[in-house]
A and B are shown apart, each in its own frame.
Chain A
Amino acid sequence: MQRLGVYGFSVAVALAMVSPVLRRPPVDSFPLSTYPMFSTARPPISQIHTLLGVTASGEREVLSPTLISGDPWAILALETVLAAKRGGPKRRRELCEAVAARVAADDSRADALEQIVFVTETYDAPAYFFGETSPQSTKVHATCPVPPR
């Protein structure tokens, strides 16, 4: 490759790589990225959106990613819950019922759980690991029964 071609190609690759941060607002895409992993200054107070199973005695139990999204990949469970949260009451209700149906089909959880709740829990996340494991507040977005088998 001629010298001009070498430098033209090299500069083009370098400029392409920095281009996502030069755009306003910066755009994180693929394979050109702003590499924003772990960059946000998160406050200690953390809102966790999730779906929980409720037993006959009223205890709330954590479900698995597979029960929440139909897939064992945890990040997809998170994205599923976030999408439903953003999607409004109808989407939240639909996800709640889909999770309840998966629980009803699960031999290990169907008999133990009576209800599914879609909640947003607020925690002081660092304090959780020093023993403050109860949420500071809980907001219920949807409730649905686990259908009988």
Chain B
Amino acid sequence: MPGPAALTRWAAGVDAWWRAPAPALRLAWVRVIVGLYCLVLLVARIPSFTRLARFDPARFQGVGVVSLLDAPLPLAASFAVLALAQVSAVAFACGWRYRVTAPVFALALLWVTSYRNSWGHMSHAEHLAVIHVLVLSVVPAADALSLDARAGRTHARDPSCYGWPLRLLMLTVAISYMLAGYAKLSNGGWAWASGDAIRNQIANDTLRKLRLGAWPSPLSPALLRQPWLFGGFAAGTLAIELGAFVALADRKLRVAWILAAWLMHLGIFAAMGIAFPYPISGVAFASFLPLERAHAHVEARIKARHARRSSPDSMPSSRQG
């Protein structure tokens, strides 16, 4: 049994890691990237919201916060919340009046995405984005790169205030993948790793699409004729999902894990035509990356270009020649 001194040292180590200092700019970039992603998502959802109005109301079965409703909202009310989510997404990304607009955006996005998933089919492509927005909406993610910062509505904070929100966003990513791995073992047992389950799943999905007149992935029939591939796919999927926590521990492993997870999603898209845009776009992994370095690099290049343009040597002279 570790003694009290050892436990105190361990707790201090955990605290130093969890609240490690980070630049405000990194968290701000995560806010901007996630906000813009959600804005694009919400604009892209306009046609599907129009379609919802044509669905049989009997199909409505509220999930999450929308389970408060017994019946679908009138079309105008649905669109009003969607419009609120879009407008507040712009404020969120720009960091305008963040303490008010960010929670408004988070709640509007939660409502809109829950509502869209309340019609008999649960898409698992939006869960993590919504969780990230909910977290970002209550942390100081607009202390840099924001209209609030430009207007002097923010104040300097200890850099540890920006570290733990990033750690928390990373933890939510790791938990979501770990749960996906756990679900496979829980529902399919270790036999899931043999590859038969995923092969049958892809065969079933492709055949169902063919018989319902939908478009399956053009690669899936060819893949399904190579049964030996699926053991590797399944073992790799479980290793990536159950091993997601390594991405929190070590920087080199973090890069390797992000790359592996990204390739896994590309593989799912190729084999089944099912896209998870949040990880495929890389936005899901933004909190893992030192985004402020890219910012500094781009800023330095812009300054150098300005300096070259404004230096006397580079000015065209009418007296020359």
A112 at interface, CB cutoff 8 A:
no
**Residues of B within 8 Å of A, CB-based: how many?**
70
Closest Cβ of chain B: how far from A19's Cβ, in Å? 10
Q: Bound complex: CA of A84 vs CA of B251, how far in Å?
A: 51
Q: In the complex, which of the residues B117, B171, B198, B211 contacts A10, with contact meaning CB atoms closer than 8 Å?
A: B171
Q: Would you give the 0/1 interface string for B263-293, flagging 1 where the beta carbon is closer than 8 Å to chain A? A: 0000010000000000000000000000000
Number of A-B contacts (CB under 8 A): 182
A41 touches B189 (CB 8 A): yes
Interface residues of chain B, those whose CB is within 8 Å of chain A, are: 15, 18-19, 48, 51, 54-55, 59, 63-64, 110, 113-114, 117, 119-122, 124, 126-128, 130-131, 134-135, 138-139, 161, 164, 167-168, 171-172, 175-176, 179-180, 182-184, 186-189, 191-192, 196-201, 203-204, 206-215, 221, 224-225, 227, 268
B203 touches A78 (CB 8 A): no
A64 at interface, CB cutoff 8 A:
yes
A sample of 23 inter-chain contacts (CB < 8 A) reads: A6-B18, A9-B138, A10-B164, A10-B171, A13-B172, A29-B64, A30-B113, A30-B114, A30-B130, A31-B131, A33-B127, A42-B197, A42-B201, A50-B211, A62-B210, A76-B55, A83-B59, A126-B200, A126-B227, A128-B203, A129-B203, A129-B224, A130-B225
Interface residues of chain A, those whose CB is within 8 Å of chain B, are: 1, 3, 6-7, 9-10, 13-14, 17-18, 20-21, 26, 28-44, 46, 48, 50, 62-65, 67-68, 70-71, 73-79, 81, 83, 121, 123, 125-126, 128-130
Closest Cβ of chain A: how far from B286's Cβ, in Å? 17
Q: Bound complex: CA of A3 vs CA of B12, how far in Å?
A: 12
A31 touches B127 (CB 8 A): yes
Q: Bound complex: CA of A132 vs CA of B103, how far in Å?
A: 55
Q: A10-B18, A64-B213, A73-B51 are in contact. Are A123 and B201 (CB under 8 A)?
A: no
A68 touches B212 (CB 8 A): yes
Q: Bound complex: CA of A129 vs CA of B217, how far in Å?
A: 13
Closest Cβ of chain B: how far from A31's Cβ, in Å? 4
Q: Bound complex: CA of A34 vs CA of B121, how far in Å?
A: 15
